[in-house]
Chains A and B, each alone.
Chain A
């Protein structure tokens, strides 16, 4: 079953347009959603939540229409948006009181366990929380109604490495039974690289790719060589190139590189950078 399925989603604004974005996330996996600022990631996430309506195309969550079944879908997803917004006057107790009224499956003991685990104060108001505490509270709130899917926008941004590690562990545990899935956007690619099974890359409103992380690593690799040696690499293999004046870094398609070139694995960040900023050949 696909927990998330986007089909030819388009959305146009005055200065921005998203064209024919299609991808799907099977149940039990984590999908990383990457792209530069303004690529349309938040718009895409808002469309999944029916906070923004697509101009055309269709989005299905749990195989249900995202617009028609919006309310019942939201009972089963945990959402954290990049602008976490709880009322500034509320403390953790008030938020519990609000959530238990909002969600049918709200589990108070789960919530308080997370509050304890994250060492969040019970009496302090939300507006007195630090950035890290706000994110942790949002995570506690997003996980305590037994959601089947988490939709997370920049959830690890602004957090220290120790907290990020702690949070990634929680997410790993969340998906470990194969029934729960995560859709996560982030600029901290190293976090995504650690956790995600699928990578979806949006650039200027267009989908560059959406595929298994492992096949992404199979498809691309890096060659680092002298600038004059770049000539020897077949043109068809080169996806992106960066010359420093002392040498060149080239992102290539592994299958088109003849035997004998000294290639090394490319990481997601390099793939992202070389397919956009240093891109040649394919028009993106």
Chain B
């Protein structure tokens, strides 16, 4: 398992951990039922506070990527298509939000954006 924390990154540290673990679950680096390091050990290794690590794990659990067995620790949950799809949808939504902000800052209309998107979509496929 790899986790690289960038202090220059604007995203909060807990989110960086969340995303990197999630990524590794989705791409199969972390297999189902594999044990994740304990919250306190991970915090110690990454030189970050316990509560930050705890939050990353809590969000991973909330979103169904990991499950916790009391007294034993945290394990990678079963990957399911629905989960993958939902995650991708959420990512698309996030990007779209950014597009919306950027578009309005240079007064680009909905139609202009749509046109741009169509061109890119056709090129990609």
B52 touches A (CB below 8 Å): yes
- Give the Cβ gap from B56 to chain A, nearest Cβ, in Å: 10
B residues lining the A interface (CB < 8 Å): 10, 12, 14, 40-41, 43-44, 47-52, 55, 101, 104
A213 proximity list for chain B (CB < 8 A): 49, 51-52
Provide the bound-state CA to CA distance between A173 and B43, in Å.
Answer: 10
Provide the bound-state CA to CA distance between A198 and B49, in Å.
Answer: 9
B41 proximity list for chain A (CB < 8 A): 176
A282 touches B (CB below 8 Å): no
Closest residue to A193 on the B side, CB-wise?
B49
Report if A29-B101 is in contact (Cβ < 8 Å); known contacts: A172-B43, A176-B40, A214-B55: no
Report if A197-B51 is in contact (Cβ < 8 Å); known contacts: A172-B44, A176-B41, A176-B44: yes
Provide the bound-state CA to CA distance between A175 and B43, in Å.
Answer: 10
Decide: B10 and A198 in contact? CB cutoff 8 A: no
- Give the Cβ gap from B72 to chain A, nearest Cβ, in Å: 14
A252 touches B (CB below 8 Å): no
B101 proximity list for chain A (CB < 8 A): 260, 262
Decide: A197 and B104 in contact? CB cutoff 8 A: no
A158 touches B (CB below 8 Å): no
A173 proximity list for chain B (CB < 8 A): 44
Closest residue to A218 on the B side, CB-wise?
B12
A264 proximity list for chain B (CB < 8 A): 10
10 tightest A-B contacts by CB? A197-B51, A176-B40, A172-B44, A197-B49, A176-B44, A214-B55, A197-B50, A212-B51, A214-B51, A264-B10
Q: What DSSP secondary structure best describes chain A's contact surface? A: mixed
B43 proximity list for chain A (CB < 8 A): 172, 176
Decide: A196 and B49 in contact? CB cutoff 8 A: yes
A195 proximity list for chain B (CB < 8 A): 49
A129 touches B (CB below 8 Å): no
Provide the bound-state CA to CA distance between A196 and B47, in Å.
Answer: 11
A25-55 to B contact mask, C-beta < 8 Å, 1/0: 0001110000000000000000000000000
Decide: B12 and A217 in contact? CB cutoff 8 A: yes
A177 proximity list for chain B (CB < 8 A): 40
The residue among A29, A169, A176, A262 with the most chain B CB atoms within 10 A of its own CB is A176
Which residues 109-132 in A have Cβ within 8 Å of B in the complex? Answer: none
A168 touches B (CB below 8 Å): yes
A11-23 to B contact mask, C-beta < 8 Å, 1/0: 0000000000000
Provide the bound-state CA to CA distance between A212 and B49, in Å.
Answer: 11
Provide the bound-state CA to CA distance between A29 and B40, in Å.
Answer: 10
A163-206 to B contact mask, C-beta < 8 Å, 1/0: 00000110011011110000000000000001111100000000
A234 proximity list for chain B (CB < 8 A): none
Provide the bound-state CA to CA distance between A41 and B96, in Å.
Answer: 47
Decide: A28 and B50 in contact? CB cutoff 8 A: yes
A265 touches B (CB below 8 Å): yes
- Give the Cβ gap from A20 to chain B, nearest Cβ, in Å: 25
Provide the bound-state CA to CA distance between A231 and B41, in Å.
Answer: 46
A197 proximity list for chain B (CB < 8 A): 49-52
Report if A29-B47 is in contact (Cβ < 8 Å); known contacts: A175-B40, A178-B40, A217-B12: no
A169 proximity list for chain B (CB < 8 A): 47
Not counting A176-B41, A197-B49, A214-B51, a sample of 7 additional A-B residue pairs whose C-beta atoms are within 8 angstroms of each other reads A28-B40, A168-B47, A176-B40, A176-B44, A194-B49, A214-B52, A217-B12
- Give the Cβ gap from A101 to chain B, nearest Cβ, in Å: 33
Report if A214-B104 is in contact (Cβ < 8 Å); known contacts: A29-B50, A175-B40: no
Provide the bound-state CA to CA distance between A88 and B7, in Å.
Answer: 42
Provide the bound-state CA to CA distance between A175 and B41, in Å.
Answer: 10
- Give the Cβ gap from A206 to chain B, nearest Cβ, in Å: 24
Closest residue to B45 on the A side, CB-wise?
A172
B12 proximity list for chain A (CB < 8 A): 214, 217, 265
